[in-house]
Chain A
Amino acid sequence: MGMTRPRLVCQLAALLVFVLTGAVSAQAPARFGIGRPATPQEIARLDIDVMPDGTGLPPGRGTPAEGAAIYASKCAACHGKTGREGPNDVLVGREPREGFPFAQNPRLAHTIGNYWPYATTVFDYVRRAMPPMAPGSLTDDEVYALTAFLLNANELVANDAVVDRSTLPAVKMPAREHFVPDTRDQTARKPRP
C-alpha cells in the first residue's frame, strides 16, 4: 500500500523530533554534585593570603631591630647589606622624594619605599615566597620582623615600631595614590557564531 504524502511528512516530522530529542544532550543540571566539602582546617592551612585591609594577617609581631638580624642572615646575600645593593631585586630606597618619575627615568629602581602601593603585600610575599630556596620556612613573627625592618629601612615606620596585624594595614605608602586601574576595555569580542 502506498503512503499518502501528508502521512509521510507526518512520520518524517515525528522521526525528526525523535532524532533531535535523542541527539541533543540533556540540560545541564544546576549542580553536578562533584567534589567534596572542604573542612575549616584544610582551608586554614592553605589560606595564607593577606589583603590590604589586614584580612588574613596572623597573630604575632616584630620590630625593625629583630628583623635586621634575620635579614642579615637570610636575605642580605641576595638583596644586599642594606637592601639597596642587589644582586637581586632592590628593596630599599625612597628617592625621589617628589613625584613619580618612573616613566622618565630608566635608572630608578622600583623599591618598597618608592613604588609599592600596599605594606601588607610585603608580609604576604615574604611569607609565601622568600627566601627562594626555603619558601614558607619563616615563622609569622620572623615575617613581621622582616616586614618591620624593610618598612623602617624605607623610612615608612619608626625605629621602635611594632609591626603586627593592627599596625601593618595602617602604614601609609607614598606610591599608593599613583596607581590607577587599566581603563582599556578588557572584554574580548566573542567569536562570531
Chain B
Amino acid sequence: MKVSRRDLLAGAAGAVAVGATARGQAPADPSKVRGKPPRATGQRASAEKVQRIVRGATSSGTPHQDLMGIITPSDLHFERHHGGVPDIDPAAYSLLIHGMVDRPTVFTLADLKRFPSVSRIHFLECSGNLGRTAGPKTTPGQLAGLTSTSEWTGVPLATLLTEVGAQASATWLLAEGTDAAVLTRSVPMSKALDDALIAYGQNGEPIRPEQGYPARLFLPGWEGNTSVKWLRRIEVSDKPFMTREETSKYTEPFANGTSRMFSFRMDARSLITYPAYPVTLEHGWVEINGIAWSGAGKIQRVDVSTDGGKTWSAARLQEPVLSLAHTRFRHLWNWTGGEAVIMSRAVDETGYVQPTRAALLEQRGPGTTGYHLNPITGWIVQASGAVIYKEEAWG
C-alpha cells in the first residue's frame, strides 16, 4: 500500500490530538478520549511527584512545601526509626501488659479492636526537628519535615489499664517496641491515664508500617520518640526505667550545667510553607501560608512579619483549630518588589510565644543538642523573586 506524505502528516497530527503529549500520558484534549476504568486502589495524578525527603538510613521528612490543609497523607507522614521498619504479621501480633497489674494480659490485634475506640486528629513531631546546618537552598520539608498530622484511631490506654487492673500505686510504665532496636521509653502513668492511645488506625486505614503497624503507643503533643511504634509490651511500675533513649539521647544540656530529661511536651512552633525555597515569586498579591502547632493545646494566634520581624500582624487561622494538631494559617501580602524577610511566630492557648533562636541559645548554649528547638524561622524573598531560607548559626 502506498502512503502519501500528506497522509502521513495528517495521521501524525491526529495522533497528537488524541494520543500522548510530550508531558506524559495525558491526551491534549481529554474530552476526546475514553478515560480509564475503575481501579482497586487510587494513585496520585501521574504529573504529581510529591515524595518524602529521605535523609539517611533512619528518617524521612514530610514535604510541607507540597501540602495543603492540615492532614498529612499517610504515605507522606515522616518516619524516624532506630532499627529499620519491621515487617510484622498482624495475625501473630500481640501486646503484653504486665508489671504492677492485677491481671497480666496478652491482647491480640483483634482484641484491641474489640474495645471501644476513639479517633482524634493530632500532630506527631520528632523532638529533633530542626535542620540546624540548613543553607539557603533548604525547603520547608528539609528544615522541619519531622512533623505530620493524622487522624489516629485506637483504644484509650486508660481502658486497657483498667482492664488489666493497674495498681493505684503505679506511677510509670515502660513501652517497648518489637523493632530491631527494641526501643523503650518510660511514660508517666498520668499521661497514660489521660489521653494516651494504643493506635491502630491512621487516616481511616490501618497504620502504615513506618508509623508502627499494626499498633503503636500515641501520646498527643509529646516528643515523637515516646510514642513507641510496633508496641509489643507495656510494663507498669512505680519508677522510670532510665532507658538509653531517655538518658544518653533525648535529653537537653542547659547553659546552667544541668541536663533536662523527660522533656515530653513539644512547644509551640510555626513554619511558613509558602512562599519558601525553591519558589520564585512574581510581583503582586501573595498568600503567605503555613502550619503552626503546639503540644500544650490549641494554637491561639500566628503572627506574620514581612519586614524581618520589625512589625507583625495576626494571620487568619483556618478552622477548625484543633488541640494538638497542625493549624493552617494564611496571610495576604502585596509584594511590590525589593528584598523582604518573611517570618511567622506561633502563640498557643497557654500564652506561650514561639521563641527566637537567640532566646533558645541563651538558655541552651552553643553546645545544645538538636532536641526541642522550635525557633522562629524566616525566608528571604530576594529582589529577583527567588525565595531562600534565612540561615541561622547555631554555634
Contact = CB atoms under 8 A, between A and B. Distances in A.
Contacts of B243: 49, 121, 124-125
B233 A186 contact: no
B345 interface: no
A105 B265 CA distance: 26
Given A52-B242, A124-B244, A103 B253 contact: yes
B242 A31 contact: no
Contacts of B183: 129
A179 B105 contact: no
A46 interface: yes
A132 B69 CA distance: 39
A65 to B, nearest CB: 25
B264 A181 contact: no
Contacts of A185: 265, 296
B247 A118 contact: yes
B184 interface: yes
A179 to B, nearest CB: 5
Contact of B244 (A101, A125, A181): A125
B247 A36 contact: no
Interface residues of B, number: 75
A82 to B, nearest CB: 19
Contacts of B365: 102-104
B181 A129 contact: yes
Q: Tell me the interface secondary structure of chain A in the complex.
A: loop
Interface string B316-335: 00000011100000000000
B220 to A, nearest CB: 7
A100 B255 CA distance: 9
A18 interface: no
A113 to B, nearest CB: 12
Nearest to B245: A125
A129 B83 contact: yes
A9 interface: no
User: Shortest 3 CB-CB distances between A and B: which pairs?
Assistant: A103-B365, A189-B297, A102-B253
11 contacts: A35-B163, A47-B98, A49-B174, A49-B243, A102-B365, A103-B255, A103-B367, A135-B180, A188-B195, A189-B298, A191-B297
